[in-house]
Structure 1
Amino acid sequence: MLRIRYDADPDFCAILHFVGNPDEELAVIDQLLSDEILLKLIAADLSQRYPHTTQTGRNSTLFRVIVRMLVLKHLRSISYSKTIKQVNESIVLRQFCRVYFNPLPTKSTLLRWANLIQGETLKQFNQRLTVYATQLQITQGKRMRTDGTVVETNIHFPSDNSLLVDGVRVLTRLLQQARRLLLQHNCSVNTQLFRNRHRTARRISRRIDSLSRTRTQRGSEQRKQAYEKLLEVAQACLKQAQGVQRLIQNIKSLPAEKLSQALRLFIPRVIQVIDQTHRRVFQLQKVPSSEKLVSIFESHSDIICRGKTNVLVEFGHKVWLDEVDGGIISNYRVLYGNPHDTQQWRDSLEQHQQQFSHPPKQVSADRGVFSQPNENLASELGVEQIILPKSGYKSQQRQQHEKQRYFRQGRYWHNGVEGRISYLKRSFGFNRCLYRGDLGFERWVGLGIIAHNLTIISRALVQKTQSRFKPN
């Protein structure tokens, strides 16, 4: 049964009195997370774990503890294990997480509960924090700068041979699990159906990697022959998996159902990898990015080319950020595919209008967002200062427009969004997502934004307090 909180322990409070107060920023975050509206948002997701989670069953980990430990994890950008270790060793952090002298959840328990939190819930959580920032006069929503960045998924560089080896490795692991399951149910098995082809695939893959360094005609022919062998191994392993899938369909048990579900997930992906390898290597086709699979595990990853000189291609998702005055990220969006930047202008303005009930006085973006319809849209919504520099040829009138004082000052202020993105990548995990799946990706981004905004709000309030009591 889902529980809300532990009762305060008087002995713990007495010890905490002698330890001393936590740092001021953590104390402010503690107060912000005590809001009942924020907790109800998360509780609505956690209550969906089972049909009667809120009514029956054994006592669960308290959802206040779960929320605060997740926030702490992303505030410090550490793993689940380190989060539990730091909370276990610190009286102050035990108070912050409201766990007191009670036992902490394991990392598996924490992960299972965290996987229930939806991306849309985290967006509502962040909107609530933006309302707090407005009430505390940290931001007024008068200025907005918008830009995008790429958060990579946790995958290796996708080559055709490495993807084939990944497919063989995963299917071989599932075949070994199926063999043990069939033996437990006294089913007759053909040993050839469970042959391990992983070592053969790895050896051929290393051969392909070494041949890729040669530029001779003979080396190219040998590389193509090695690809033929690797495709034969992958197709043979695929046939084994399809045969085992038919066998375990007759077994009625939970392990068999999970195994069948895993086979239904990975078999189509391996088929897609085999098909795209055949098209690229033997038919010499340029496979469109929308038809490519760059990871067996993170199949949702997009191929993103942004024209950066130091990074030719990235694998993950583009994240669009709307930052208002005060350093608060009021809105964010995870973009799927590789949409053009000009398509994000309308959504940013409309979400700002919905959040603050008024348009920004000044709004800015990079050159890639510029288009005449975008400028007209901002003007129609009531934006006074539109900072959209035009790329390419500029007429004499356009040059004079961009030389105006407000435009140049707006460009200087907009440059700060690059520092904001750098801060997110350095401190809140925006360089690479470590959660799995597309839902995990949205959860990683959402928790990172929430941790960032909590940090900005707490620092602003601490600075106000210190300046208020600072002697003249």
Structure 2
Amino acid sequence: MFGIDSIRHILQRVSVPGARIDYEFPEHLAKMDRWLDDKRFFTPFQDKYHQFWGRPSVPAETYLRMRALQQQYGLSDRELCDQVGDRLSWRRFCRIPLNKPVPHPSTLSKIRQRLDTNGSDHMAELNEHLVRKAAEEKIIKSRNKVRVDTTVVEANIHHPTDSGLIADTVRVVTRLAKKIQAVAGDTGTAIRDRTRSIKKRVLEARGLAECIEKVLRLGDINLIGNEAESKRWLDKYILPPDYAIN
């Protein structure tokens, strides 16, 4: 495998004046490179890679580092392979020698499928090791606390109102009375079902409440204590035509 000194020597001989060749790591990639040197990150791959038989595959370290770049920059498999092939710093980060080809996108897909067989999730295991290492290096602190999003979001619920509670009471009492009658048999007392009529009364009460609210919003009109004027305003501007005030 070519070292960084060998790469510098080659680039000096084939360099183009004015061209920029990025074989050095940016700061964030240098930190990722040091982190991924931890051998614990390769634990999820140990049982999936056979050392003594089969065609040699992409090394586990190379695959892991390519996946890290893919997650960091939000790339597809094809975009990732193109970038690694074009940028010497990324090739060096992925531990791919200059005399070796960059893995094909279909190869990455096959490795991913092989690692996730039998219901396993290699990315979840990698994340577990990542969190543990971050805790060891005091980057994150675990205090056995759970963060909960308590943002208040208005829900489409049935808000309790006086008229609504009365209607619910009528429905519940009627249902219980029918159950009692079914158990006790014919007692000579008829049970009248008021659920339909109470629904109509509730709608009327809600309509009247909305009308009163509209009246109260008319702040420049003094209707307090003037029954005739109040009725005129209700009949003319607020109440529906089929609603009569006794």
TM-score scaled to structure 2, two decimals? 0.50
TM-score (norm. length: structure 1): 0.27
